[in-house]
Structure 1
């Protein structure tokens, strides 16, 4: 009966089959095969790496060895090295044959070139102004920070050979216009929307996207450049420092001497003239030791943000090249029948709405038992959701639409066109209901916001209809541009100012006003509320005036805040109004006892 040594002998010979005959000295004897060495590995994680062999990326891969582990260490050194080289070649072929997912093909950017000195200086300037000007609030300081950051991105793109295209200018200038909203308006919600939209437009300007995938992902793409931007900036700084050590010394000495001269002579001139000292105090940010950690954090955020922008401009991801497979084409009846049924439902609803819009409110209210304001409030939110869901339906219907022939194209345009047209009537009905509700209960921030949202959704539907007629290559950028314009208009008009104007006009007509609601409004509402009679004026402005008592530097003060301060300085609040708790609609208020 053959012993285990013969089985091991056959295993060793078969492991080397296909690679030439196995030398006799490469096969252990029966005695050695029958008694494996104690030093031989017992794991099956892979072949043993010979001494002196380079580390390979496939070292950690779990694979069965070509030769049993208890025999491998008994092979001669040159055969073990040969087996290791064959394994490395096999791993290399696997890596070469591995393909990225189809949607990522061509997306990854090329390695960026070394940053220019101008980009690095602009990044440093962004970090400095961020640490100095962003600590006390938001205002014109955002524009001050955005200018050097934009220059850093421009210099990086110029070094990479990228040209400025028309849409790049559109997105860039639009982002700067959005950053002007905090400098003009005091309301927090429009400022937040403006900041988010400005970041998205800046990212689009750096990526240059034009497809749906490019616009949606490219608007957030700058976030993915934060870590690569830090590594790119550090590497560029080290390379430049190694090649120009002789020039860094004079540059540092020059900057230190200039700073020392400004501090010394600025202090002398400030002590010599009070007017100059006051001007200098307004222009130069105040820095205290206790603010050190906060200033350092803002410095770091400015540095990281500017590096991310410059790194994206130097080598952006090509999100337009992301390939998303189209949806499976459906049959005409399978695709069109549900949409036709939906169109009929929309038509039936709109027929009822036209009756109401043409003056049939009394009959509808008599049947439903609701008041007019309750009827309006009950329907607006449902119609808003119906508009949103219609856009979702159009998106998926377009993905699965039949597209094999010209008849299919006509069918798709007809069915979706009718659905978009009916949805516009639903938008008009929702806006009419909101108008009725505001007429009865007054205007609030929430009602302004959702009305603006409904109007923008109507604009998007109009753009979709135009794309169905003229082609849709421009549609992604048009939708993104319309969103930016909506945020810009929302900020410039100021919802707080609209709320104050509408409620003051309602008070003049109906002598009804809720002065408690105005306590949380921003300084944008002061011009309209200042026209109220006393004691309503003092009660409405008391909360806003309290917030304005906190002084902010010029770069963190909006135009609305400064205007409100001037108005209240010229027309102080009435000190005779001690309490507003009993001020009901039409009440004269409680004056001092």
Structure 2
């Protein structure tokens, strides 16, 4: 008698003569059907991207990223056209959103939102070129550019080796001779310059002005920019079909074994929802009497724990969906009902966490971290709404792409709204309200606002002295470290310099920079 099937837990017997599955079969399944060769125009676009990266990006991030993204897109477009690929609607959506993300460094000066936006733009560009509908296709395509960097260089080299270049026999010797001449002139020129001052002056006038200290960084940026552009072109010429990756469904659990833990969790979430309703609707005396807290204290505590609960709930939903019983229609209805209830109650947790953070910010002010966690918590609420909508519809093929779209829209909105400017505006407005209520007790968290970037200058400029001077001194010091070219700085940095030039800081009011530190940075004590 044959043993139990795969759902019973035993390994199925292999028919004699059938090949043993390889650990890399899933990767072979995603191999492109065909890949177009690298053309000279693709290589020129990649080299142009590398040169622009070395020239523009060494000074910082700003509008230059839009230019670099455009030149890399040209190379990818040429490769896609050579492969006969067509533009699809989702390709346009991902591409436009990637451009919106690259605009963040052009507008604002803060580093963390800019780095997050650039990473998101690279991931979206990879997804736009790969395509993908299912979870494997979408999630594996996002970091796809990372494992295309080295293979794209091999692809370019091999295709150009096979291509007949007119005049190669005359061009290659000339290039070799120029390289040898440059090496000899560099070595002997440096020796002559160190041996004779007049010779050093002559060579300095003849040679182009180069910052040798930054030369290694520019070479690294050139290589990185060229490989990135080649990587995108490599994807466009023949993307991997990650949607072909086979993800075997998890082994079904018996209905009681699967449902009992979920029912217990749903009951706990329900109890939490009832308590929150009691507190919000005003009948909270019995609840708060046992905790010994006031209503505001109760509302402010527990935000971080609730945020962790929200993330863990997503993990529980994903694991439970994989192991859910699905043999009969009743099994599927029970699974849909319990998972839907859990997602619905998770929205109560999200709403409670957001409400607590609102009280927390009202009592202690807004910081970068608090704003970022607020934005992430809102996105998690959107994800739960999407999961509920997917459970109510018959087909949920749209879910993977819409979840990624919602996440990238969140990153774009967070970057484009200027987080540092919002943090400064909220703290200054809170301080102004406190001044109107009682000037003697009004305080502002100077340690928080002094750590912000130039994006905060417009709001902090409204503070009275000496608070204004103490808040803006470190920001001005950062702006004075070096004049940044227009292509490597956000527009907010230019506005900040203009404001500080029109209204110089009054260091004599605070007695210099050291006086601000001595006055206490944790809280304003002026």
| Pairwise TM-score range, normalised by the shorter structure | 0.7 to 0.9
Tell me how large the CA RMSD over aligned residues is.
Answer: 2.6
2:397 to 473, 491, 499: 473
Separation in 2, partners of 1:393, 1:465:
15
Deviation at 1:489, TM superposition (A): 0.6
* Partners of 1:535 and 1:588 within 8 A in 2: no
Match of 1:516 in 2: 447
Deviation at 1:433, TM superposition (A): 0.7
Separation in 1, partners of 2:79, 2:308:
44
* Partners of 2:108 and 2:490 within 8 A in 1: yes
Distance 1:417 1:106, change over 3 A: same
1:569 to 501, 513, 520: 501
* Partners of 2:276 and 2:352 within 8 A in 1: yes
Query: Is 2:263 the counterpart of 1:332?
Result: no
Deviation at 1:362, TM superposition (A): 6.0
1:410 to 329, 333, 353: 333
2:89 to 153, 156, 166: 166
Deviation at 1:287, TM superposition (A): 4.7
Distance 1:341 1:122, change over 3 A: same
Match of 2:419 in 1: 495
Separation in 1, partners of 2:525, 2:375:
35
Distance 1:446 1:414, change over 3 A: same
Separation in 2, partners of 1:109, 1:346:
46
Distance 1:350 1:140, change over 3 A: same
Match of 1:547 in 2: 478
Distance 1:100 1:160, change over 3 A: farther
**Residue range with higher mean Cα deviation, 424-433 or 401-410:** 401-410
Query: Is 2:406 the counterpart of 1:482?
Result: yes
Give the match's secondary structure for 2:97: helix
Deviation at 1:125, TM superposition (A): 0.7
Match of 1:109 in 2: 32
* Partners of 1:119 and 1:152 within 8 A in 2: yes
Deviation at 1:304, TM superposition (A): 1.1
TM-score (ref. length: structure 2): 0.83
Give the match's secondary structure for 1:134: helix
Give the match's secondary structure for 1:221: coil
* Partners of 2:447 and 2:523 within 8 A in 1: no
Separation in 2, partners of 1:192, 1:229:
24
Separation in 1, partners of 2:422, 2:209:
35
Separation in 2, partners of 1:190, 1:341:
40
* Partners of 1:383 and 1:427 within 8 A in 2: yes
Separation in 1, partners of 2:523, 2:347:
40
Distance 1:301 1:486, change over 3 A: same
2:266 to 328, 332, 343: 343
Match of 1:224 in 2: 147
Query: Is 2:67 the counterpart of 1:144?
Result: yes
Deviation at 1:117, TM superposition (A): 2.0
**Residue range with higher mean Cα deviation, 402-411 or 143-152:** 402-411
Distance 1:364 1:443, change over 3 A: farther
Give the match's secondary structure for 1:162: coil
Deviation at 1:205, TM superposition (A): 0.9
Separation in 1, partners of 2:22, 2:87:
31
1:526 to 443, 457, 461: 457
1:537 to 460, 468, 485: 468
Distance 1:138 1:422, change over 3 A: same
Matches within 5 A, 1:178-257: 178-240=101-163, 242-245=164-167
Give the match's secondary structure for 1:412: helix
Gaps of 5+ in 1: 1-93, 257-284
Deviation string for 1:330-387 (max 9, x for gaps)?
2222222221221111111111111112235665444323455653453111111111
Deviation string for 1:31-85 (max 9, x for gaps)?
xxxxxxxxxxxxxxxxxxxxxxxxxxxxxxxxxxxxxxxxxxxxxxxxxxxxxxx
Query: Is 2:514 the counterpart of 1:582?
Result: no
Give the match's secondary structure for 1:150: helix
Give the match's secondary structure for 2:44: helix
Deviation at 1:153, TM superposition (A): 1.1
Query: How many pairs align?
Result: 464
Query: Is 2:66 the counterpart of 1:129?
Result: no
Separation in 2, partners of 1:181, 1:205:
20
Give the match's secondary structure for 1:192: helix
Gaps of 5+ in 2: 1-16, 179-207, 435-441
**Residue range with higher mean Cα deviation, 378-387 or 358-367:** 358-367
Give the match's secondary structure for 1:243: coil
Distance 1:311 1:149, change over 3 A: same
Deviation string for 1:160-219 (max 9, x for gaps)?
122111111111221111111011111111112111111111110111011101111111
Separation in 2, partners of 1:248, 1:462:
66
Separation in 1, partners of 2:36, 2:452:
50
Separation in 2, partners of 1:233, 1:200:
22
2:383 to 438, 453, 460: 460
Distance 1:128 1:476, change over 3 A: same
Q: Which has the larger radius of gyration?
A: 1
Distance 1:154 1:446, change over 3 A: same
* Partners of 1:226 and 1:308 within 8 A in 2: yes
Of structures 1 and 2, the one scoring higher in RCO (CA 8 A, sep 6+) is: 2
Give the match's secondary structure for 2:372: helix
Match of 1:40 in 2: none
Separation in 2, partners of 1:585, 1:230:
52
